[in-house]
Amino acid sequence: MSPSLQVELVQRKPFSSAEHEAVLSIARTAAVLEHGMAEALKEHGLTPTQYNALRILRGAGQEGLCRNEVRDRLIARVPDTTRLLDRLAEMGLVVRAREGEDRRFVRTRITRAGLELIAPLDAVMTALHRRQLGHLGREQLRRLIELLEDARATAE
């Protein structure tokens, strides 16, 4: 069995409440999982947020998305989606173009280079996620997903 969060954090005093321990446990688990993802993506020159943005744009297809649509679909909220998309454009992974009568409206699309970069990462991420959580089994994973959905629904 894994060590408790209190042992892992070398905390001598008990948590102030079960809710407090749960929030810290979720945050700690997210950090551990994200670190694994960051390490797997590092050799491909991407951060988890950049990878997430590219996957979102791949899903949008040739239609692409505007900045706010990308921002709203990101897993983790970022303070400056424009800078994120600018960085991906500098890397040649996305293109941005003003469209329509409203010159403020800029549509972003993934490029062939972006598609070629993330295509092999699908298998890398699937293998990583299996290593990280596969030991829980299908039933426990489904229950975990439901519990996290419930937590998010009341937290937002």
- pLDDT for 103: 63
CA 142, CA 140: separation in Å to the nearest integer? 5
- pLDDT for 155: 82
Indicate whether 104 pLDDT > 80: no
Structure token pair of residue 73:
């679909």
As a whole-number percent, the residues of the chain with pLDDT over 70 amount to 96
Q: Residues near 76 by Cβ (< 8 Å), separated by ≥ 6?
A: 48, 49, 52
pTM for this model (two decimals): 0.86
- Say if residues 113 and 93 touch (Cβ distance below 8 Å): yes
Least confident piece of the model among 36-45, 66-75, 103-112, 142-151: 103-112
Indicate whether 101 pLDDT > 90: no
Indicate whether 6 pLDDT > 70: yes
- Say if residues 5 and 28 touch (Cβ distance below 8 Å): yes
Structure token pair of residue 37:
């993802």
Tokens 């060590």: give the residue. Answer: 3
Q: Residues near 35 by Cβ (< 8 Å), separated by ≥ 6?
A: none
* CATH code, 47-113: 1.10.10.10
